[in-house]
Structure 1
Amino acid sequence: MGLRERKKRQTRRAIADAALRLFTERGYEETTIADIAEAADVSPRTFFSYFPSKEDVVFAEIDERLAEVREGVARRPAGETPLQSMRRIVFEMIDAIAAAHGEYGAIQVQLILERPSLQARALKRMNDTEQHVVERLTELSPDIDEVDAIVIAGALVGGMKAVITHCRAQGYDPEATRNAVDRALAIVEHGLGSVPALTHPVP
């Protein structure tokens, strides 16, 4: 990542951190975009160059993690089985997920669970990620059954979403979060191991 991209990511994270802090201190409805921009030391115009709306800033860190899932699925070493790929991708994400927004993780989950508009945006993100995983699995394993691919993507993305949501809502520390994710992944792997297409390496 070049200097320009690093600075853009830093600004994006500064805006998101300021927003979550203000949502915690003042409340979501009471916080304006102007408030967030001021707290992040940027202009409202700069805010809108990073986020289309106040709702989208809630998902800033989630969007980064989902992008990492998509990148990880695409970056697959030769000879690695799809099942091994899934474990590698998830574990590459664990440290980032466990550490990111530890202070504001609970308010992030609370905001999403309490507001239908945020729930709809969260569902759209999950559906898009599942579809990407399905497409990539089909590319890597052309013989995989379509239903198997859909179930695999749903199990992986849905399972990780469920455990991370729980850990953040309960205020788990990074180590506890890693342990919970590892247990969740073991459960998912147990079921997915029955799909032959996942356990055969692809050249």
Structure 2
Amino acid sequence: MHHVQSAGLRERKKQRTRQALATAALRLFAEQGYEETTIADIAAAAEVSPRTFFAYFPSKEDVVFAEIDDRLAEVRERLARRPPGETPLETIRDSVLNVLEALVTEHGEYGAVQVRLVLERPALQARALQRLHEAQLEVAGRLRELCPDIDEIDAMAVSGLAIGCMQAVLTHCRRHGMDPGTTRAALDRALMIMERGLGSIPALHKAAP
């Protein structure tokens, strides 16, 4: 029991360090510019060593995508453990809802900084596109595990719709500096539109045994 607790505690501490690094990086990028900010600066602002920075992020570019990577990891995990009696549509909705909570509360004012960096910098734009593509492929793969009778084109379309829909609306909200309440309402609308689109696929309505 003690071992499980200490493992959970370690995990939370790691997550806090990771988040401190990501928030410090975005704050410094906003204050002094992306090129001007070094990894040593980010580490110092988060009160860790540069070596610790590299334990969490391979490069300065990767720290920009920390939040998105974390949210996708959560979606993967949720899609992998589907409770008995739950339909794939319910599993998808639940995993998206969990992500919404985090997206609205995390990074706050620095969300706009992150979006601006990605839109302004070709290298970050290329990285964002690559991540988006990988996420769509992976979610489609998980969907096919979740409901083996789903058509592979349907699985790709569902994945593209879910990820593209949320990403487009979140980017819009952050670009325009919308407050958390407005952002949440916008993402809820996006979720409703997504569900309507997904409702047309019969395989998503079959409950797990």
Q: TM-score, normalised by structure 2?
A: 0.92
In the other structure, the counterpart of 1:129 is: 135
SS of equivalent residue, structure 2 residue 181: helix
1:140-151 mapped onto 2 (5 Å cutoff): 140-151=146-157
Encode CA deviations 1:14-36: one digit per residue, 9 max, x unaligned.
11111111100001111111111
Encode CA deviations 1:63-122: one digit per residue, 9 max, x unaligned.
111111111111211121111111111111211110110120101000001111111221
The answer to whether residue 124 in structure 2 is matched with residue 118 in structure 1 is: yes
Q: Which runs of 5+ in 2 are unaligned?
A: 1-6
SS of equivalent residue, structure 2 residue 31: helix
1:90-129 mapped onto 2 (5 Å cutoff): 90-129=96-135
In the other structure, the counterpart of 1:196 is: 202
In the other structure, the counterpart of 2:3 is: none
Residues 158, 198 of structure 2: 8 Å contact kept: yes
For residues 15 and 132 of structure 2, the distance between their equivalents in structure 1, rounded to whole angstroms, comes to 22
SS of equivalent residue, structure 1 residue 2: helix
In the other structure, the counterpart of 1:31 is: 37
Residues 109, 165 of structure 1: 8 Å contact kept: yes
How far did residue 5 of structure 1 move? 1.6
The answer to whether residue 62 in structure 2 is matched with residue 56 in structure 1 is: yes
Residues 57, 63 of structure 2: 8 Å contact kept: yes
Q: Which runs of 5+ in 1 are unaligned?
A: none
For residues 77 and 89 of structure 1, the distance between their equivalents in structure 2, rounded to whole angstroms, comes to 12
For residues 42 and 56 of structure 1, the distance between their equivalents in structure 2, rounded to whole angstroms, comes to 17
In the other structure, the counterpart of 1:18 is: 24
State the number of aligned residues. 203
